[in-house]
């Protein structure tokens, strides 16, 4: 992350700072080159920050950073930001990281709670209800209940922060995404096929406060899509939530196409990215680096607490990886290749995990 921030700053400068150029040349002289240590990366970030008059470093969802790296990242950001007379940190995350942020940033962090207004939620619900074309499965009474109960029963808890005269370089935002809950809830309700079933779904969601009700409802919808899409959606969620590291969309699609006992990949059996994402009904997203992720970290926590959804997942994934590694096309590869061929998209993951 420190390297990515440095790269963004260097791209914005008219010339590469001398410290960065010299560090690159030193590393290049070593056999095969080498990566930077964190302490070295921080020095280069400081060098990139120094000539910039004002810098805003924005990091979203810091709560998803592994605990073992969190304090080092925060300390590094603070150290680097001291190189600029007007560098500011803007960080978002859920409440439990507040103590870590305040402990690692000597000047402290300013935290200000905010909540989306009930009017914001109502406007969003009205828009989604307006897009619903199944007029025969909606009644005025049900619509009124949706508009009343969802804003009342889904908890808020947003926090946002801004700098103060005493701490101009630091701010913290803690944001449990209430709109994600509202979005999942209304999608689950409108996904039902009768007024009665929609009302039942509304009752389930609003009576089971918090994430579980919304995620339960969405998983029910995934399982109710029909056998093929249901199987694909649940298998994708299993791989994403149980994998040892974030998977790229290509590797995931290949994993889902492997047939146990086969000798080679059947390429016509590989699902498209569009089909895979559609089968997960909004619970999965692909980021800018082509890594596929769950829509929010709370969904990972939900799966951790509800292991019944993916029984024997590790055995299933191991069997897929071993089948893949025994494909004829994989066994024909050189044993000394440095990186996986482009077409062998699952090889890196399967051979490592």
Can you tell me the mean pLDDT for 249-254?
95
CA distances from 134 to 96, 142, 182, 206 (A): 42, 13, 20, 22
DSSP lists the bridge partners of residue 87 as 55
CA distance 102 to 104: 6
Q: Calculate helix-pair angle for 18-29, 38-49, nearest 10 degrees.
A: 150
Residue 177's pLDDT band, with cuts at 50, 70 and 90, is: low
**Per-residue pLDDT, 235:** 96
| pLDDT greater than 60 at residue 284 | yes
CA gap 253, 342 in Å, rounded:
14
pLDDT in tens, 210-248: 667 778 888 988 998 888 999 999 999 999 999 999 999
Measured distance CA(303)–CA(284) in Å, rounded:
13
| CB-based contacts of 340, cutoff 8 Å, min separation 6 | 347, 348
CB 47 within 8 A of CB 39: no
- Model confidence at 208: pLDDT above 90: no
Judged against a pLDDT cut of 80, whether residue 95 lies above it is answered with: no
Position 268 confidence tier, pLDDT thresholds 50, 70, 90: very high
Indicate if the pLDDT at residue 106 is higher than 60. Answer: yes
- Could you say which DSSP state residue 270 is in? P
Q: Taking a C-beta distance cutoff of 8 angstroms, is the pair 44, 19 a contact?
A: yes
Average pLDDT over residues 13-42: 83
Q: Where are the domains of the chain?
A: 1-109, 117-156+179-223, 225-353
Among 304, 190, 286, smallest CA distance to 236 is for: 286
């Amino acid at each position: 992350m420190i390297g990515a921030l440095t790269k963004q700053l260097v791209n914005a400068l008219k010339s590469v700072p001398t410290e960065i150029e010299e560090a690159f040349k030193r590393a290049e002289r070593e056999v095969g080159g080498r990566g930077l240590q964190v302490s070295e990366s921080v020095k280069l970030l400081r060098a990139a920050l120094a000539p910039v008059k004002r810098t805003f470093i924005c990091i979203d969802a810091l709560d998803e950073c592994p605990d073992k790296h969190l304090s080092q990242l925060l300390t590094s950001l603070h150290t680097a930001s001291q190189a600029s007379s007007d560098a500011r940190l803007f960080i978002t995350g859920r409440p439990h990281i507040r103590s870590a942020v305040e402990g690692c940033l000597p000047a402290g962090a300013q935290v200000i709670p905010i909540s989306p207004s009930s009017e914001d939620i109502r406007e969003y619900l009205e828009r989604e209800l307006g897009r619903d074309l199944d007029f025969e499965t909606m009644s005025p009474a049900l619509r009124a209940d949706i508009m009343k109960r969802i804003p009342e029963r889904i908890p808020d808890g947003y926090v946002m922060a801004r700098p103060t005269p005493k701490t101009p370089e630091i701010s913290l935002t803690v944001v449990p995404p209430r709109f994600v809950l509202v979005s999942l809830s209304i999608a689950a309700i409108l996904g039902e096929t009768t007024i009665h079933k929609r009302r039942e779904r509304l009752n389930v969601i609003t009576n089971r406060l918090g994430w579980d009700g919304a995620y339960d409802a969405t998983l029910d919808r995934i399982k109710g899509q029909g056998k093929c899409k249901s199987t694909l959606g649940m298998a994708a969620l299993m791989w994403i939530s149980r994998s040892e590291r974030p998977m790229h969309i290509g590797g995931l699609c290949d994993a889902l196409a492997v047939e146990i006992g086969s000798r080679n990949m059947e390429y016509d059996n590989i699902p498209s990215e569009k089909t895979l994402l559609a089968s997960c009904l909004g619970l999965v997203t692909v980021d800018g680096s082509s890594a596929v992720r769950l829509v929010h970290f709370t969904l990972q926590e939900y799966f951790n607490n509800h292991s019944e959804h993916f029984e024997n997942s590790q055995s299933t994934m191991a069997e897929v990886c071993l089948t893949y590694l025994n494909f004829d096309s994989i066994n024909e590869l050189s044993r000394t290749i440095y990186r996986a061929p482009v077409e062998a998209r699952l090889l890196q993951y399967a051979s490592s995990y």
